[in-house]
Amino acid sequence: MHIQIVENRAGLEQGVRLLFLPEGRELEAEWPGLTGAQGFSGKAGRVRLVAGSRGMALAVGLGDAEKLDMDCFRAAVGTAMRTAASQEIETLSVDGEQIASLPLEGDPLAELSIAATLAAYRFVAFKSEPGEEDCPASLLLWSPEQDLPGRVDKALAVASGVRLARDLVNTPANAATPEDLARTARELGAEFGFKVDVFGPREIEDMGMGCFASVFRGSDTPARFIVLDSDPEDSRPPLVFAGKGVTFDTGGISLKPSAKMHEMKGDMAGAAAILGLFKAMGLAGRRGRRVVGLLPCTENVPGSRATKPGDVVTAMNGKTVEILNTDAEGRLILADALCYAARFQPEILVDLATLTGACLIALGTKVAAVFSTTEELDLRIREGGSRTGERFWPMPLWVEYGKPLKSDVADLKNIAAREGGTIFAALFLKSFVPAGVDWAHLDIAGPAWTDEDASIFRPGGTGFGVRTLWELIGFYED
């Protein structure tokens, strides 16, 4: 779908006017002269296509005005896109002054641009016959605000980053190998001037990343450790983001059940989010703060050389780990990535990963968990996420939860009790965070994937995390 800003309100007449109405607001008052406008309730999810002397209009309900927020607005935009497609509407148009009259905080027109772009998303890369687009071909915007083009361009850059993350998560594991992710990183580097370093299995082992190496030993598909740097010449402490990149997770020797194992192609959603972030930064020309992305990428499969339960390995910081469950592999590859981050002396260090099934049990599929060593970082992540529809719930890092992670034969073991598994995983990672660095761990196991076909989502990867990281950068820019 193409989003275009028209020069004047008359340009909107080329499309069907899109009107968003909360309950209690009269449709006819919004656009006088419409036929069949009477009685439109404005309830969430309700739509009506009406005509008048000034053209056609598509009315979309927002629900109770007192409860209206950006989440409701995004859902309404998704409803509008799907309805327009079902009515074979080629072009929609939006009057910025009508949107500005809604009781919404933030930048509704920019959010509309993002939501419409994401609602139009389809993954058809492997379809021999992709079929017709099920969204309008174009969306026209007008507003008297002079800075609208820049705001929309930035919004579309963010949406493109989210779409890239969705594409990577949805791509089958045989076409999204660690090297494929490295290729994506190199392409971003070439297009936008980022520095990109890619390390192979031998180099990973030579750096002393024994935890990371323990995961990739069973696979014939070579692992990659990808480092992206937005501005290596910037001498200030960077913001460092580490993303789990397990391109397919069978569980290794601790084999997973076969049901829904195909979804484990999405176990690299953390790495995908960071790649999506870098694409958004590149498209928007965002250079206000140096950002470093660390992506440990590998398969986790059984094989004759695979790590066995009970094996002991040594991490990059010298700590030894007894591996009791090879399906707790994400924390192992992230452990070495967190150690590697020390060389950058980061201002903050944030990792994100589809780390634990226990997080799904605790919080469901709509919310991610956030663990943080500082209240400030925790609040910034949650505030930024809330603005973009990516929700986080704070979880504890209490000292007593670390005791069950002590091993009889090594410094640590990679699992503890089943109860509280998400907390144990976070505390395991905390053991590898460089001293004195503000750190947060985001367990995105629930919202990184959806089975729903509603609002701005399609079944598959959601691109969760891209927008939260984008907002987080904003807190640290000059």
Query: What are the residue ranges of helices labelled H in 87-173?
Result: 96-100, 108-119, 148-170
| Binding-site positions for Mn(2+) | 244, 249, 267, 327, 329
Active-site annotation holds for 331: yes
| Binding-site positions | 244, 249, 267, 327, 329
Nearest by Cα to 290 from 242, 228, 227, 230? 230
Give the tokens for residue 234.
């910037």
Measure the CA angle with vertex 313, ends 310 and 314; round to 5°: 150
Q: CA 87, CA 20: separation in Å to the nearest integer?
A: 17
Torsion of CA 187, 181, 295, 423, to 10 degrees: 140
Which residue in the list 9, 183, 256, 319 is annotated as catalytic? Answer: 256
202, burial (CB in 10 Å: exposed 0-12, middle 13-18, buried 19+)? exposed
Which residue in the list 163, 166, 286, 331 is annotated as catalytic? Answer: 331
Q: CA 109, CA 150: separation in Å to the nearest integer?
A: 12
14 DSSP 8-state letter: G
Per the DSSP assignment, residues forming a β-bridge with 348 are 239, 438
Q: CA 289, CA 345: separation in Å to the nearest integer?
A: 14
Cα Rg of the chain (Å, integer) = 24
Active-site annotation holds for 387: no
Q: How many CB atoms lie within 10 A of CB 215?
A: 29
| Backbone phi and psi for residue 187, each to the nearest 5 degrees, phi listed first | -65, -40
Q: CA 218, CA 126: separation in Å to the nearest integer?
A: 28
The residues annotated with a catalytic role in the active site are 256, 331
